[in-house]
Structure 1
Amino acid sequence: MVRFDRRWLALEGHRFRPFQARIERDRVLRYLDFQGQPDFLGQPDDEAVRGNACDDIGPALPTFPFALEMDAGVVAEVAALLRVEANRLLHAEQTFTCHGPLRCGDLVTVESRLRDVAWKPESRVCFFVKESRFLVDGRLAVSSRSVYALKVSEEAA
């Protein structure tokens, strides 16, 4: 088991390298098909239905922005920053707020930072709150908050 590292507390406010990702139409349609979205199922070859599904994917697929972060290796980057193995991190909570549309074809710029680091010595758990902003052409489309937890054996000497 990992030992608590006081250095983690100083990481609060850390900004991750921004990255860009394109929202690919085929991927969105696969997500919708997998979820069984009623407006899409049964009509996969209808171009009008396929086009409408890509007008604003935020309400239909609120976790899609997290998939962009996963593709970019954000969890691995958090683990590397903490100097722990990624499989030690528990993805404890996640929320999304849609501020504007996300559409197929959009080039999304993702900016993330560690908003808060909280050490709970009584339970030997450290929580890391990461906030992300998903921007399209400089406009905020989605914001998210992810909480990661790390169980530790004890505080390092």
Structure 2
Amino acid sequence: MTRVDTVSPAELVGTDFGPHEVLVETALLRLFTKVVGMNDPVHHDPAAAARAGLPGLLVPPTYLFGLERQHPEVPRIIDKLGIDIGSVLHGEQSFRYHAPCYSGDVLSFRPRFADYYEKKGGALRFLVRDCAVTRDGDPIAELRNVVVIR
């Protein structure tokens, strides 16, 4: 395997990953909602969603973070940073919704590195990634993810 020349996380602040479209697949969404214990049938039962007047299964807020990770630049950036994935911890995540989304939607994800900072003399490094999610150009959500690198 060829190793990419690594860069410091601070050099990537402002980097835009570019857009990436993802289809919200019904089977994967149903599996996710079952695993996390979502009991409302509009999340996993197409007939219940239809009775509620929805165009598909309702996507729960945290599901978008998993879809964002399908962006092809994510593994390339991790490689470029030279990060040992075993040293990465989940710091925090937040989201702001503008509109609901559903199974069958094609969503566009556009992540970018928003910030980088260190604590404890560099022993803990924090990488902040923001992501705009749209459907047909209309805003769906704004995601923020903070990872901690030990």
Q: Which residue of 1 aligns with 2:127?
A: 128
Q: CA deviation at 1:136?
A: 0.4
Structure 2 gaps, min length 5: 1-5
Q: CA deviation at 1:56?
A: 3.5
Q: Aligned pairs, how many?
A: 141
Q: Does 2:55 correspond to 1:56?
A: no
Q: Which residue of 2 aligns with 1:154?
A: none
Matching of residues 63-74 of structure 1 within 5 Å: 63-72=62-71
Structure with the larger RCO, 1 or 2 (CA within 8 Å, 6+ apart): 1
Structure 1: which amino acid aligns with 2:19? P
Q: CA deviation at 1:55?
A: 5.2
Q: Which residue of 1 aligns with 2:22?
A: 21
Q: Which residue of 1 aligns with 2:86?
A: 87
**In structure 1, how many angstroms separate the alpha carbons of the residues matched to 2:49 and 2:34?**
11
Q: CA deviation at 1:13?
A: 0.6
**In structure 1, how many angstroms separate the alpha carbons of the residues matched to 2:7 and 2:79?**
16
Structure 1: which amino acid aligns with 2:58? D
Contact 2:49–2:58 under 8 Å retained in 1:
no
**In structure 2, how many angstroms separate the alpha carbons of the residues matched to 1:35 and 1:121?**
34
How does the TM-score come out when normalised to structure 1?
0.75
Q: CA deviation at 1:78?
A: 3.7
Task: Describe the shift of the 1:11–1:38 C-alpha distance in structure 2 as closer, same or farther (beyond 3 A).
Answer: closer
Contact 2:9–2:127 under 8 Å retained in 1:
no
**In structure 2, how many angstroms separate the alpha carbons of the residues matched to 1:48 and 1:6?**
50
Residues 22-73 of structure 1: CA distance to partner in whole angstroms, max 9, x if unpaired?
00122222223333433329x95xx53143473532xxx2111111123335
How does the TM-score come out when normalised to structure 2?
0.78
Structure 1: which amino acid aligns with 2:108? T
Contact 2:97–2:140 under 8 Å retained in 1:
yes
Which segment is superposed worse, 69-78 or 127-136?
69-78
Q: Which has more radius of gyration?
A: 1
Q: CA deviation at 1:131?
A: 0.2
Contact 1:135–1:142 under 8 Å retained in 2:
yes
Q: CA deviation at 1:123?
A: 5.4
**In structure 2, how many angstroms separate the alpha carbons of the residues matched to 1:40 and 1:121?**
46
Q: Percent identity at matched positions?
A: 23
**In structure 2, how many angstroms separate the alpha carbons of the residues matched to 1:36 and 1:86?**
28
**In structure 1, how many angstroms separate the alpha carbons of the residues matched to 2:69 and 2:9?**
22
Q: CA deviation at 1:121?
A: 4.9
Root mean square deviation of aligned Cα? 2.6
Q: CA deviation at 1:129?
A: 0.4
Q: What secondary structure sits across from 1:31 in the alignment?
A: helix
